[in-house]
Amino acid sequence: MLIDNVKTEILTTVESACQNRFGQKPEGLKLGYPPQVELGDFTIECFPLAKQFRQNPAQIAQAIAAEIEPSESIQAVRAVGPYLNVKVYNRTLFGGVCDEIVRQGESLGRSNMGQGQRVMVEYLSPNTNKPLHLGHIRNGVLGMGVSKLLDATGHTVIKANLVNDRGVHICKSMLAWRKWGNRETPETAGIKGDHFVGEWYVRYAQEEEKHPDIEQETQIMLRKWESGDPETRKLWEMMNGWVYSGFAETYQKLGLEFDAFYYESHTYNLGKDLIQTGLDKGAFVKVADGAVIAKLPVDEFGTQRDGSQKVETLLRSDGTSVYITQDLGTAKMKFDEHQLNRSIYVVGSEQNYHFQCLFKLLDMLGLEWASGCYHLSYGMVNLPEGRMKSREGTVIDADDLIEEMIQLAADEIRGRDAEGRLSDEEIQKRAFAIGLSAIKFYLLRVRPELTINFDPKESISFDGFTGPYCQYAYARCASILRRAETEDLTSVEPDFSLLGHEEELQLIRALIQFPEVVEEAARDLSPARICNHLFTVAQTVNQFYHKHPVLAAESPPLIKARLALINASAVVIKKALALLGIETLEEM
């Protein structure tokens, strides 16, 4: 029997009991879970009924419980204080849930919550003048995680990367390379393309300290770029190409995928028509010096220091665009091109104000889709020494960190493979999966808005609330299932009524809750919810593992039942890890 059907049966049973006892249907019934498994499998609070039936909740619970007879699936309904605790027969509970989960497999947790909803998730959005750092990794795994959650819940997701490929900062690395690069390339230098370009950006900064006048050359180059000077464009394309191939490598390692790339070199002129529309409508105003501004409502934006209303510039006095101009245009383009219902921007919290303005401006323009825009803001990633600062060289490079984590994982694997049975490839494969799991889980396990203090020492720990811990729980399940295949149990039928120990009940409960957790996580755009629940499942699996033998259980029907429970647990863990972008390993 499907667990959803059991839940429905419980609700309808309680409803008809209310009908019999109080002569009316109850309103606002919610099915929940008791705090301890000994109390039952499901619970219904009677608080909301108190008003309706004009009695205290405990009496109502008593009355309803007395009205209910056991059924084929419902074993007992007991009133405990204001709660109605429901015990479902173990054969129904375990049998139904395990069958269902194993049958669903990969598609477990899929729902139609977002049916017909088209959502764009823009994330990562790097500059092409230097390599990615730890902050980008948080952005990337969050963007990817959210995309997977939306996809799993039936949304049509378009993952977009808005590349900042133009501007002074890009010209700086171009200029430095042209002056001192001696036609070197990433290939001849043996350096990954994005790092190579990043070195020239650093070189520029060094030279600028000695010769501040090169700033003027940068400005000249920027103007040449804007006027489409073929030589400058060629250099720009070549160097950006190096960066892209470098980025692609890092994306691949992190499992980041994109359906659409937007380049600011294409979008930076967008938005001017919207500014004109705003002027025509009277939403924006042109001030004396020629700049176009918007006045921001005081109730949402507060005031300036001097108490006057806040103002945002939309066009400079010389008529050129500012950043928010193109963002307005790009926002519209996204909706036009993809018929979006929602547009999510995964961008750090330092840009909260920017997005608050952007969305308000879209609203002031009267664009009805403005309310579909959402800034998924995430906190900074700090180091134990404080904030990452490029000028102080404290930025943690993404590729370096990944490499370091893989190495640490490899050391650990070698350490536990004393006899040296594992091939180098196998060690490498496992180290990669484990190292990345450690990084991703560490960055996803807390709510996005929280600042993370990235302690390298702590992040490499595989104890406790970590990705590797969850992977290990899976590997243990896989190991049992592998061994089970070598035993002849095909003719044995599982007897789920033999299950019911505390650990088994806790485990099945965690498995039952998984689809609900996926929906909540998608609703809240919070992969951290998946991390928390996944850890609960992994922890419960480990507790069960220690206390109750599977293959050495008392009888073959019990063995089969426990195998089914382990199998279902493995499916849930694998799916949860997949939603976080983490690989599972059959052996660790």
Looking only at the bridges linking them, the beta strands covering 156-163 and 260-263 are parallel
What tokens appear for 140 in the block? 């990337």
**Given 45, 151, 504, 583, the residue binding RNA (CB under 7 A):** 45
The reply on whether position 59 binds RNA by CB under 7 A is no
Please give the order of strands across the beta sheet that includes 156-163.
260-263, 156-163, 118-122, 342-348, 373-378
Would you give the end-to-end CA distance of the chain in angstroms? 35
Applying CB under 7 A, which part among 29-37, 67-75, 271-279, 334-342 lies near RNA?
Answer: 29-37
- State which residue, 36 or 188, has the beta carbon closest to RNA: 36
Q: Are 163 and 182 in contact (CB under 8 A)?
A: no
Helix axis angle for 398-415 and 134-152, nearest 10°, is 80
Window 184 to 243, contacts with RNA (CB under 7 A)? none
The reply on whether position 304 binds RNA by CB under 7 A is yes
Window 480 to 519, contacts with RNA (CB under 7 A)? 480, 483
> What does DSSP assign to residue 309?
B
- State which residue, 90 or 459, has the beta carbon closest to RNA: 459
Q: Which of 449, 584, 466 is nearest to 526 (CA)?
A: 449
Query: Three-state DSSP class for 533?
Result: helix
Q: Which of 119, 125, 133, 120 is nearest to 443 (CA)?
A: 133
Binding residue count for RNA, defined by CB under 7 A: 101
List CB contacts of 234: < 8 A, sequence separation 6 or more: none
**Given 174, 362, 436, 452, the residue binding RNA (CB under 7 A):** 452
DSSP letters of 312-327?
EEEE-TTS-B-HHHHH
The reply on whether position 287 binds RNA by CB under 7 A is yes
Alpha-carbon distance 405 to 401, whole Å? 6
The reply on whether position 81 binds RNA by CB under 7 A is yes
- State which residue, 2 or 450, has the beta carbon closest to RNA: 450
The reply on whether position 389 binds RNA by CB under 7 A is no
Provide the minimum distance between the beta carbon of 264 and RNA in the complex, in angstroms, as a whole number. Answer: 7
What tokens appear for 310 in the block? 């806040």
CA separation (Å) from 308 to 195, 290, 302? 46, 21, 9
Applying CB under 7 A, which part among 178-186, 225-233, 313-321, 487-495 lies near RNA?
Answer: 313-321
**Given 475, 518, 565, 568, the residue binding RNA (CB under 7 A):** 475
Q: Which of 255, 269, 260 is nearest to 315 (CA)?
A: 269
**Given 7, 31, 47, 374, the residue binding RNA (CB under 7 A):** 47
Name residue 83's amino acid: Y
**Given 280, 424, 425, 463, the residue binding RNA (CB under 7 A):** 463
**Given 4, 20, 27, 32, the residue binding RNA (CB under 7 A):** 32
- State which residue, 337 or 350, has the beta carbon closest to RNA: 350
What tokens appear for 60 in the block? 């109502």
**Given 85, 129, 330, 584, the residue binding RNA (CB under 7 A):** 85
Window 535 to 554, contacts with RNA (CB under 7 A)? 535, 539, 542-543, 545-552
> What does DSSP assign to residue 498?
G
Provide the minimum distance between the beta carbon of 189 and RNA in the complex, in angstroms, as a whole number. Answer: 27
- State which residue, 186 or 569, has the beta carbon closest to RNA: 569
Provide the minimum distance between the beta carbon of 171 and RNA in the complex, in angstroms, as a whole number. Answer: 12
The reply on whether position 528 binds RNA by CB under 7 A is yes
List CB contacts of 571: < 8 A, sequence separation 6 or more: 101, 102, 104, 105, 108
- State which residue, 186 or 560, has the beta carbon closest to RNA: 560
Instruction: Give the phi and the psi of residue 41 in degrees, each rounded to 5.
Output: -95, -35
Applying CB under 7 A, which part among 28-36, 194-202, 363-371, 388-396 lies near RNA?
Answer: 28-36
DSSP letters of 77-113?
EEEETTEEEEEE-HHHHHHHHHHHHHHHGGGTT---T
The reply on whether position 313 binds RNA by CB under 7 A is yes
Q: Are 513 and 4 in contact (CB under 8 A)?
A: no
Provide the minimum distance between the beta carbon of 184 and RNA in the complex, in angstroms, as a whole number. Answer: 27
- State which residue, 189 or 287, has the beta carbon closest to RNA: 287
Provide the minimum distance between the beta carbon of 207 and RNA in the complex, in angstroms, as a whole number. Answer: 21
CA separation (Å) from 576 to 462, 538, 542? 18, 11, 16
- State which residue, 51 or 103, has the beta carbon closest to RNA: 51
List CB contacts of 428: < 8 A, sequence separation 6 or more: 406, 410
The reply on whether position 262 binds RNA by CB under 7 A is no
Window 412 to 441, contacts with RNA (CB under 7 A)? 412-413, 416, 430, 434
**Given 102, 293, 333, 492, the residue binding RNA (CB under 7 A):** 293
Query: Three-state DSSP class for 407?
Result: helix
Provide the minimum distance between the beta carbon of 188 and RNA in the complex, in angstroms, as a whole number. Answer: 31
Alpha-carbon distance 474 to 587, whole Å? 9
Window 122 to 181, contacts with RNA (CB under 7 A)? 127, 164, 167
Applying CB under 7 A, which part among 142-150, 182-190, 304-312, 389-397 lies near RNA?
Answer: 304-312
The reply on whether position 555 binds RNA by CB under 7 A is no
